[in-house]
Amino acid sequence: MKEFLEGSRAIAKIVSLCRPGVISAYPITPQTHMVEGLAQLVADGKLDSQFINVESEHSAASVVLGASATGVRVYTATSSQGLFLMAEVLFNIAGMRLPVVLTCANRAMSAPISIWNDQQDSVSLRDCGFIQFYAENIQEAVDLHLIAYRVAENKDILLPAMVCIDGYILTHGIEPVDIPEQEKVNRFLPEYQPVYKLDVDNPLTLGFLADPDYYMETRFAIQETHKEITRILPQLFTEFSSCFGRNYNFVEKYRMDDAEKVIVAMGSVCGTIKDVVDELRKKGKKVGLLKILCLRPFPLQEICNALNNISKVAVLDRALSLGSLAPLYSEIKASFSGKKKAPKIISGFIAGIGGRDITRESVKQVFRQLNQREISGKFIDLKPELLQEKL
């Protein structure tokens, strides 16, 4: 049965159903409603969990690191500056192979300070070793948490996972959501069985110093595990589908079969793009969308297979790599490096930075500017008059 839920409350519900033994977080807009929801569930005795209020995101990440190393399922959530205060710990969690699950309420980075949405925070941390999922809507956000725990805790994986949801748009938006029953969740996500943990009956040393004779192999192993995830996730998506009836994949192809122009994007903007695609299709335009659900591991093969017959591709980034090409754009470009079957044009667009709305008109602009000439780093909805201002 579906219920109308705010995104954050829906995530609190599904995380609660995942039964984490330790939750730790530090408040930051727009993450707050998620952890408030969990705190209330613990306070009401509906969730048996240690809820640890800490003095910083650095400590929130460190608390769940310690608890995960002790063999308990854990959860944390943050956003923007908070994610960056955690950054040091996040690399560490991945290096220590701890299956922490984190929700990132995507928000712009300071300065100037902005509490509004873009994806600069999590995209900038794409190299930290975490698996990264990007949700289009609240139902996906809910489902991806179940998938995140399952893949993270898989004995052949043991890597942390981040579920990225656009701040406000998904954290504070309200949609009809199907929250599965506890029994169904238990079947899909059984109790966490750690492979190794801090245990007085079997004393292990975790977090060694590795000199140049040993360090590189530990990083290579994580890289290999990310390849393993691309092998394991399809089975998991199939299992999820048979349990809950909803289908996921690394990428989602929307009306791409005969498309000539396709936008590649991540997160909630995909909903808007789908609406525009439907509208333009009605007018006979051959347009489509390729949604990236999983940024890490980067689904290179799926992306190539999906796009290699498309004539013109526009990559829509909601984050920047200041001084270079936008992050998703450069990865999509690189995916076709040296390949004979490739789109003729791959153009790069940037929109929605710092919470500026990406409207249907914004998306139409992208389709319009996707023509014979390849462009990159093209900002949509810039206000030129603001750039003219003089002191």
Q: Does 72 bind other proteins (CB under 8 A)?
A: yes
Q: What is the separation of C-alpha 366 from the centre of its chain, rounded to a whole number of angstroms?
A: 23
* Interface segment toward other proteins; rule CB under 8 A; list 56-64, 117-125, 246-254, 365-373: 56-64
Which parts of 94-123 interact with other proteins (CB under 8 A)?
96
Question: Residues 6 or more apart from 305 whose CB is under 8 A from it?
Answer: none
Which parts of 212-271 interact with other proteins (CB under 8 A)?
214
**Helix, strand or coil for residue 212?**
coil
Q: Does 64 bind other proteins (CB under 8 A)?
A: yes
Q: Are strands 22-25 and 287-292 parallel, antiparallel or unpaired?
A: unpaired
Which parts of 19-38 interact with other proteins (CB under 8 A)?
21-22, 24
Question: Half-sphere exposure (CA, 13 Å, Cβ side) for 38?
Answer: 32
Q: Does 89 bind other proteins (CB under 8 A)?
A: yes
Q: Does 49 bind other proteins (CB under 8 A)?
A: yes
Q: Does 55 bind other proteins (CB under 8 A)?
A: yes
Minimum distance from CB of 213 to other proteins (Å)? 9
Would you call 195 exposed, middle or buried from its count of C-beta atoms within 10 A (0-12, 13-18, 19+)? exposed
Question: Residues 6 or more apart from 255 whose CB is under 8 A from it?
Answer: 277, 278, 281, 287, 288, 289
C-alpha–C-alpha distance, residues 189 and 184, integer Å: 8
Instruction: With beta carbons less than 8 A apart as the criterion, state whether 94 and 127 touch.
Output: no
Nearer to other proteins, 71 or 355 (CB): 71
Q: Does 203 bind other proteins (CB under 8 A)?
A: yes
Nearer to other proteins, 201 or 389 (CB): 201
The residue within the footprint of other proteins, chosen from 10, 67, 164, 264 (CB under 8 A), is: 67
Minimum distance from CB of 196 to other proteins (Å)? 10
Residues engaged in binding other proteins (CB under 8 A): 21-22, 24, 48-50, 52-56, 58-59, 62-72, 74, 88-89, 92, 96, 198-200, 202-211, 214
